[in-house]
Structure 1
Amino acid sequence: MGRPGLVPDRARGRYSMRNQATSRRASGCYGAAGRIRLAGQEDGSCRHHAMTHGRRGPRALAEPLGARWGALPGGLRGVLWMLAGAFFFAAHGPLVRLASVDVDPLVVAFLRSLALFFLMLPWIVAHGRQAARTHRPVEHVLRAATSLVGLVLLVLAQANLPLAEVSAISFAAPLFGVFGAALVLRETVRARRWIATLVGFAGVWIVLRPGLADVDPLYALPLVSAVFVAVSNLMTKSLSRTESATAIVAWLAVLSVPLTLVPALFVWSWPSAVTLLWAALLGVAGFGAHQCLSRALAAADASAVMPYDYMRLVITATMAYAIFGEVPAIWTWIGGAVIVGAVVYIARRESQAARAARGTAGEAGS
């Protein structure tokens, strides 16, 4: 017996498809115009045929979207990735505030690290030995500890202070990084970058307004957090000279769990299901932010995309107003603009210096 809808072609030793259309019309899968009947059909075979031949699956639909995305200019893709990252970074503060309702912020920091670890675990396992291979384990531990101190201080600040002000002050990390680059890495910092750094700190002063308003001692938290973030970034830069990016990311993800668990145990209380949900979303926000940032920097030059990272000040202020009714003071916007302007200028100068160094190295090698 031959297969239904196929006509034996003995000359070629296979089945011919020439009678297949006629078979479909006979079974009712085709209408008068010869098109697949999708609306209101009841026959199971017709429904199967429509699903397998007349509709496109998710993978097929994703292909043209991926092609269109890849066809966009690299600069535009970088900007879009950076804006998405700014949204994830901005969501961190409100999620911390919501998760801190019934547990201590130190517990929130641990739950965030745990959620982020589980999100990254498949990636770590997939890289296997490459993720664990290192020649500088002590530096990895120090870098993780420094980064997590900055994280814990930031979480404490976001749980207790106006979110827009915390966001504005946290932008000071690159300003501290200039001092670290000059003192620790022995990089040459010229007058323009020093002036921009001082202007940036003037912006921090505008946000805090010491002497003009009562300053809560808790405002030291985001400032000190910015210092630790700057030190962590410098250590990352140092590690990247000999370590793979895979190892740097994997070591931080693994070490973050025990390093945040220790302080959390001193103030431990069991989180509710709602708190666990906020903590899980915190992990997603952290994962999404770093993924978007890395993709933005891979798609375009840092000086072109980094300015868009500072949209998170606007996004944070909007979220804080919508969720908690916080209205930022005018000085927060003015000081934040000064800080952002200074940091953007520093980023552009560093990018120009890096391009000049690559050009010099290329000429020397040719």
Structure 2
Amino acid sequence: MPEKTLPKQGTAARARAPARADHPFKGIALILLSTVFLGTSDVTSKYLSATLPSVEITWIRFVVFVLIMVPAMLPGTPLYALKTERLDLQLLRGAALLGSSLLFISGLRYLPMAVASATSFVSPLFVTALSIIFLSERVGLRRWLATAFGLIGVLIVLRPGTSAFNVAAFFPIVSALCWALTLVMTRMMSGREHAITTMTYSALSGLAILTALVPFVWVTPSWHDILFGIIIGLASTAGQWIVVLAFRYANASVLAPFSYTQLVWVSFLGFLVFGEVPDIWTVIGAACIVASGLYTAHRERVRRSQVLLTAAEPAPNA
């Protein structure tokens, strides 16, 4: 996609952004580190769901998120990032991110860690479909076949029509759809909005919505609950920020295989904390989902390489 002309705010933001460097091993190391933080956030959310409603857990998470982003809200400071040319898209992205977080935490209340995490990794499949609608991208037959294979993996994990099926499994699936919307809207703002601006508006819009909802389900938390809520907020925010750092050093096609190690990490934590052991069908279904995601990332790399090659070709003589 050709780079668009930047408005003043985007130009200043880009000037502050660190230059892109090609250090794939550093990017891989950061992605592996991010899975530790994100997995810890997921497991802690499941643990806390035994005593607090999902809305309240998510609210605490976003309170911490907003507090971390406060420096970006102070006018006159180097990090100030509230100027935006796409307020509507920023707010919609924040609502989608909130939906992803809230629905996933709701699913964790009823599902084993491995099942919730495996089904949530179908987001690349949703991105494929949404890219046609919102980004006018062309999707070839092979990517559609990969998407179908991933959906088969979801069916293997969920096993609808059997006693193993849990209707709560739809929570992480819809969460993945919301996350895919978040990624697509991020692409739509790419080159126009700084990452700090996007994170700040995501934090503010999510907290505003949750603050309106949380009084209806409020349960007075203990200091123990507040402590674990803070851990969720810190771990999730740190994990997301480390992912942003990783993409400064390597392309998505390089990092995608290693992001799936989060499935191993959360499965291990699920066993350690909750005594959950994934059954063979969950493992097989997760393998199908991962394989589909990896092939989708591969096709994305091939497509981008073809676009760059075409752009580099000299124009024919007049």
- TM, length-normalised to structure 1: 0.76
Divergent runs of 4+, >3 A: 123-129, 362-366
- The structural deviation recorded for 1:363 is 3.8
Contact 1:119 1:283 in 2 (8 A): no
Deviations 1:199-219 (A, max 9, x none): 000100110111243422111
Contact 1:170 1:226 in 2 (8 A): yes
Q: How does 1:1-366 map to 2 (within 5 A)?
A: 74-125=23-74, 126-129=77-80, 131-363=81-313
Contact 1:89 1:286 in 2 (8 A): yes
Matches of 1:224 and 1:247, distance apart in 2:
26
Matches of 2:41 and 2:282, distance apart in 1:
19
Matches of 2:130 and 2:78, distance apart in 1:
32
Contact 1:108 1:279 in 2 (8 A): yes
Matches of 1:194 and 1:262, distance apart in 2:
40
Matches of 1:316 and 1:227, distance apart in 2:
20
Partner of 1:299, secondary structure, is: coil
Deviations 1:85-131 (A, max 9, x none): 111121122110222232211100000011122122235544454x1
Report the identity percentage: 30
Unaligned runs of 5+ in 1: 1-72
CA-atom RMSD in angstroms:
2.0
Partner of 2:156, secondary structure, is: helix
- The structural deviation recorded for 1:244 is 2.8
Matches of 2:238 and 2:193, distance apart in 1:
23
Contact 2:56 2:218 in 1 (8 A): yes
Query: Which protein has the larger Cα radius of gyration, Structure 1 or Structure 2?
Result: 1
Deviations 1:40-91 (A, max 9, x none): xxxxxxxxxxxxxxxxxxxxxxxxxxxxxxxxx8121111111001111211
Aligned length: 294
Unaligned runs of 5+ in 2: 1-21
- The amino acid across from 2:38 in the alignment is F
Matching residue of 1:43: none
- The structural deviation recorded for 1:241 is 4.7
Contact 2:158 2:166 in 1 (8 A): no
- TM, length-normalised to structure 2: 0.87
- The structural deviation recorded for 1:364 is 5.6
Q: Which structure carries more relative contact order (alpha carbon 8 Å, separation 6+)?
A: 2
Contact 1:153 1:225 in 2 (8 A): yes
- The amino acid across from 2:178 in the alignment is F
Matches of 1:335 and 1:154, distance apart in 2:
19
- The amino acid across from 2:98 in the alignment is L
Matches of 2:180 and 2:85, distance apart in 1:
23
Give the stretch that moved more between structures: 333-342 or 84-93: 84-93
